[in-house]
Structure 1
Amino acid sequence: MADHLQSFIQDLIHKNDGIFKDADFKDCKGSAADIEEMLHNLESTEVHFKRKLSELSVIHPPDKEKIIYLQGLVDGMNLAIKPLQLYLQCDGGNHPAS
């Protein structure tokens, strides 16, 4: 996403010579970096929760309530992660590849 954003910004600056400067896009670049960091953190947490789920199912096989709860957390995180991944894979407003 960062490469695409930088390319877009440079193109915009070039097409509007004298109007925009790279510094005008500081907040935009920061937001893009924040989104990428958030996605990375969500993915790391999801992996951690999946490991916990595996460990829990081995240690406490009869405790289905705990297993179902943790599986729900993992599934819920996946609902947040997948759209972000697709958004970050978008290229120039095109729809992501299926």
Structure 2
Amino acid sequence: MDTVHYHDFIDDLISRNKEIFSEEDFTECRKAVTELTEIVHNLEETQTKFRRKLSEAAANEHDNKEKIIYLQGLVDGMNLVVRPLKSHVQTKPVH
């Protein structure tokens, strides 16, 4: 995940408006960007683990359709959460 663009945007905003903003005004914002990036990374890691489990279950327990469908649902559900968050975090702000 790339937080550089958000931090660059904040730096630019501060430099153009020194009489209005200071670094301290954006402390919480910078933390939030970093935390969101970490959350998305952790969700991606979990999604990868779930995919491995799905592959293992499909190979080892091909008769247990319920388990395979359940794990597929988990993977699909994770994707529904991760994809929008990931695209939002990676979006470059417009200057």
Fold match (TM-score > 0.5):
yes
Q: What displacement does 1:89 show?
A: 2.2
Gapped runs of 5+ residues in structure 1? 94-98
Separation of aligned partners in 2, 1:16 and 1:84: 29
Q: Identity, % of aligned pairs?
A: 46
CA-atom RMSD in angstroms: 1.5
* Structure 1 equivalent of residue 75 of structure 2: 74
- The residue correspondences of 1:30-49 to structure 2 (distance < 5 A) are 30-49=31-50
Contact 2:54–2:68 at 8 Å: present in 1 too? yes
- Describe the SS at the equivalent of 2:21: coil
TM-score by length of 1: 0.87
Q: Which runs of 4+ in 1 moved over 2 A?
A: none
Higher relative contact order (CA 8 A, sep 6+): 2
TM-score by length of 2: 0.90
Q: What displacement does 1:23 show?
A: 1.9
